[in-house]
Amino acid sequence: MGNLDRRTFLAAAGLGTLGATGLLSACGTGGGSGTTIRYAWWGNNVRQQRYTEALEEFQRDNPEITVQPEFAEYTAFQERMTTQMAARDVPEIFWIASPQVMTYEKNGLYRSLSDIPTLDLSDFSDADIESFSLNGEFVSMPHGVFVPVVRYNETFLEEDGIELPGEDWTWDDLSEFLIDYSAENSAGRRAASYNPDQDMAFEAWLRQRGQDLWTAEGAMGFDSEALAEWFEWWRVLMDAGALLTLSEQEGMQPDWAAVGGDILLNFGSSNHIIDDAAMYPENRFRLRSAPVASDAADGHKFLYYPRLAVYQGIDDADVEAAGRLIDFNVNNADFLRTVGLTMGAPPNPRLLTEAYDFASDDEIEMLAVVEADREFDQRPRHEAPPGTNTWREALSRVSEGVALGETGVSEAADALIAEIQTGIDREA
């Protein structure tokens, strides 16, 4: 230390700075003169690999565009987005987690998609584009379609020599069947997992009662009575021993890999069959549309769209490249062939038809159920309003309280509605 003179120190510091600058420069530029687009998505390992492969195919076809993939697991994805938004460092193209769709919209995170010349919308009807719009603006693009389903293990049914109720089943039919199945099946299986926080099943329940999850005005579209009845439907099954206990399913988010071999059926989104069935290759899984109340309201069927968007802060010079990548994502059969159908049926009607040519058995099962629901007249569906980011966690928490007997169904319904309303009021 005592031997360090100023000249030596400054020389060392200068060299160090030079080296660091060079290193950072090398990291930052990527060495090319073309456009770089960051593409952010979520999923599991398989989806990560398939999308990475598809993005590489896109770059081979578009050598002037470099795609920087930003992948994460679903929860981590949202947390990273939060940090990126705070830093105003959002990827040019990003998938949107469903609870955040309108929160992002309110805060102007989306760039309009209607003026991007490289995004071809000719396969979509005006009605399609209208249904994709948020508050009348075409600012996000669906890249899949889900519908609410009941997924059942056909192999188990065959082993037990039992048949499901008919296709026109009601909630009461299903409830009776689940109780009987649990009591009578030879393998001692429970009929289902405890899953009242499955949002699409809950939405189907509400719409059949003429209510909605959310209204066009950004309010809750359901009342405490409908919610309490939903909890009651599940509580009856739980009390009858038709469902896994919270202990058996290790909480409100059962791991399918752990419980899939112990239950006959579960509620979910139509796309989940593709990943979930692969975990039990010796079993055949089938899909059914959710039960329908005998007095169901008109137009209760609905389609759910997972969406992607372009960040409003994108450089104007990069917009056409981003459009080309989205076009590849939503209009190109090669893309679908590479990534598979884990994000549901393609929203593009042409691709929906073409997808049957390369779809697996499980994917065909999913395509068929989505296609069947698309045929129905549907009243509009609205996304979760700002301030409701955590409504699904809240639903899960109060459902847990009901299952554990800590809360009555009416009390749970009132508590959830009050919590959601508080969030909406705070954002208003």
98 lies in the site for other proteins, by CB under 8 A: no
Two structure tokens written together for 138:
């075409």
13 lies in the site for other proteins, by CB under 8 A: yes
Query: Which residue lies nearer to other proteins by CB, 101 or 355?
Result: 101
Query: Which residue lies nearer to other proteins by CB, 109 or 352?
Result: 109
Query: Which residue lies nearer to other proteins by CB, 177 or 311?
Result: 311
The residue within the footprint of other proteins, chosen from 2, 63, 166, 188 (CB under 8 A), is: 2
Query: Which residue lies nearer to other proteins by CB, 377 or 425?
Result: 425
To the nearest whole angstrom, how small is the minimum distance from the Cβ of residue 176 to other proteins?
A: 28
Task: Quickly tell me which residue has 């199945």 as its tokens.
Answer: 181
Task: Quickly tell me which residue has 């993005």 as its tokens.
Answer: 55
Query: Which residue lies nearer to other proteins by CB, 33 or 83?
Result: 83
The residue within the footprint of other proteins, chosen from 50, 59, 69, 85 (CB under 8 A), is: 85
To the nearest whole angstrom, how small is the minimum distance from the Cβ of residue 82 to other proteins?
A: 5
Instruction: Compute how many residues bind other proteins; rule: CB under 8 A.
Output: 36
To the nearest whole angstrom, how small is the minimum distance from the Cβ of residue 73 to other proteins?
A: 12
**Contact (CB, 8 A) for 143 and 332:** no
Q: Read off the amino acid at residue 237.
A: L
Binding string, residues 103-142; x marks residues near other proteins by CB under 8 A:
xx--x-x---------------------------------
To the nearest whole angstrom, how small is the minimum distance from the Cβ of residue 92 to other proteins?
A: 17
d(CA 347, CA 341): 11
The residue within the footprint of other proteins, chosen from 9, 74, 356, 376 (CB under 8 A), is: 9
The residue within the footprint of other proteins, chosen from 157, 396, 416, 417 (CB under 8 A), is: 396
Q: Read off the amino acid at residue 254.
A: P
**Contact (CB, 8 A) for 394 and 420:** yes
**Contact (CB, 8 A) for 61 and 54:** no
Query: Which residue lies nearer to other proteins by CB, 125 or 253?
Result: 253
To the nearest whole angstrom, how small is the minimum distance from the Cβ of residue 401 to other proteins?
A: 5
Residues 37-56 that bind other proteins (CB under 8 A): none
Residues 241-270 that bind other proteins (CB under 8 A): 246-248, 250-253
404 lies in the site for other proteins, by CB under 8 A: yes
Residues 363-392 that bind other proteins (CB under 8 A): 389-390
Query: Which residue lies nearer to other proteins by CB, 290 or 309?
Result: 309
Query: Which residue lies nearer to other proteins by CB, 348 or 407?
Result: 407
Query: Which residue lies nearer to other proteins by CB, 81 or 264?
Result: 81
d(CA 302, CA 203): 9
- Which range, of 80-88, 287-295, 336-344, 364-372, touches other proteins by CB under 8 A? 80-88
For binding to other proteins (CB under 8 A), which residues are involved?
Answer: 1-2, 4, 6, 9, 13, 75, 78-79, 82-83, 85-86, 103-104, 107, 109, 246-248, 250-253, 389-390, 393, 396-397, 400-401, 404, 406, 423, 426-427
